[in-house]
Amino acid sequence: MSNDRPSDQDRPNLEQGAAPNTGGQGKYPPGYDPVTHTYTPPIGPDGRPIYPPGYDPATHTFKRPEPSSAAAGCPVDHEHRHEYQHVPPALDADGDRRTMIVTGASRGIGHSIVRKFADEGWRIITISRHAFARNSCPWEAGPEDHVQCDLGDREQVPLAIIDIKRRIGQGKLHALVNNAGISPKGPAGERLNSLTTPMYTWMQVFHVNLLAPILLAKGLFDELKAGHGSVVNITSVVGTRVHPFAGAAYATSKAALTALTREMANDFAPHGIRVNAIAPGEIITDILSPGTEEKFLPLIPMKRLGRPEEVAELVHFLCSEASSYITGEQININGGQLL
């Protein structure tokens, strides 16, 4: 899963100074919220934000220090070490390891989702077109649990399902996050509207953004049922109104995914599987078009773009017991963009 961009993988330096917002544990820099993994910098006397060492304001990431549990004040528990990071595995009520699938995990929102769930001790099976890249994906079992698949290829998706079933081995699937999505532009980067979108593009977009989610959920139905699983479909703010950058095929595929979420929730609920959607607004990832910030900051009441890790927190909520009676919902995460 190669990625040339700086990833959102990195957390603040645990060796840094006092942390007024973390109970004075001294683990996090001021302004960092370890619950949401977000960072709001303090403002200096000149009115400019003050960033701590290692923080990159362009990508909202910290350069990760060398992992050292002892330095963070946590003794290493060798008995509960597992293949991702040195956190205890997340177990379900039967004592089975919580297992999930995330599509499009190589960068952006998907990458943040994997980091969040890895930190929580889940086993994560990832899907994307590219091979696993050790240098940008710090979860240990990645190469063994990565499925290389083009979700736009109707012949590859069934093969990926067979591969995943083999990996799970008639076990449980506790979550399926349909995150991969594409938003093609014209040759000069222009928006493709309903008159200018080529037929091939319509079909490719709908296969990746709409059909792959239902093919995966249906193909892995038995495993999801066994795990009382949660399906989360990543839709978009563009499903409800015309957007200056997102094209007609993308927007309509996301609107259809919202409708599919509703249908799936109704059909899967009797089998103990919840299905919900998350509709992000403008989140800082590769998918954004140049000029997004200039265009949208005046329109977003919170006056900033969203961060992938903020979406990941919401995905985790929808895959946890905390949301056990929520199904068929779409939750917006957009800083108030639709108000």
Q: Which residues bind ligand NAP (CB under 6 A)?
A: 1, 103-110, 128-130, 150-152, 179-182, 208, 234, 236-237, 280, 282-283, 285-288
Closest to ligand NAP by CB, 28 vs 132, is 132
Residue number with CB closer to ligand NAP (223 or 282): 282
Crossing angle for the helix pair 212-219 and 248-268, nearest 10 degrees? 20
DSSP 122-188: -EEEEEESSPP-TTT---TTTGGGEEE--TT-TTHHHHHHHHHHHHHTS----EEEE--------TT
CB of 253 to ligand NAP, least distance (A): 9
Could you confirm whether 39 is annotated as catalytic? Answer: no
Shortest distance in whole angstroms from residue 128 CB to ligand NAP: 3
Residue 13 or residue 261: which is nearer to ligand NAP going by CB?
261
- List Cβ neighbours of 324 (8 Å cut-off, separation of 6 or more): 274
Which two tokens mark 92? 């379900």
Cβ at position 3, least distance to ligand NAP in Å? 8
Q: Cβ distance 131 to 98 under 8 Å?
A: no
Nearer to ligand NAP, 99 or 179 (CB): 179
Q: How far is the CB of 51 from ligand NAP (least distance, A)?
A: 23
CA atoms of 215 and 131, how far apart (whole Å): 22
Nearer Cβ to ligand NAP (273/315) = 315
Structure tokens at 46: 């000149």
- Give least dist CB 126 to ligand NAP, A: 9
Q: Which phi and psi angles does 87 have, rounded to 5°?
A: -125, 155
Catalytically annotated residue among 28, 84, 250, 325: 250
User: Letter for the amino acid at 265?
Assistant: A
Helix (H) or strand (E) holding 226: helix 221-226
Residues catalogued as catalytic: 250
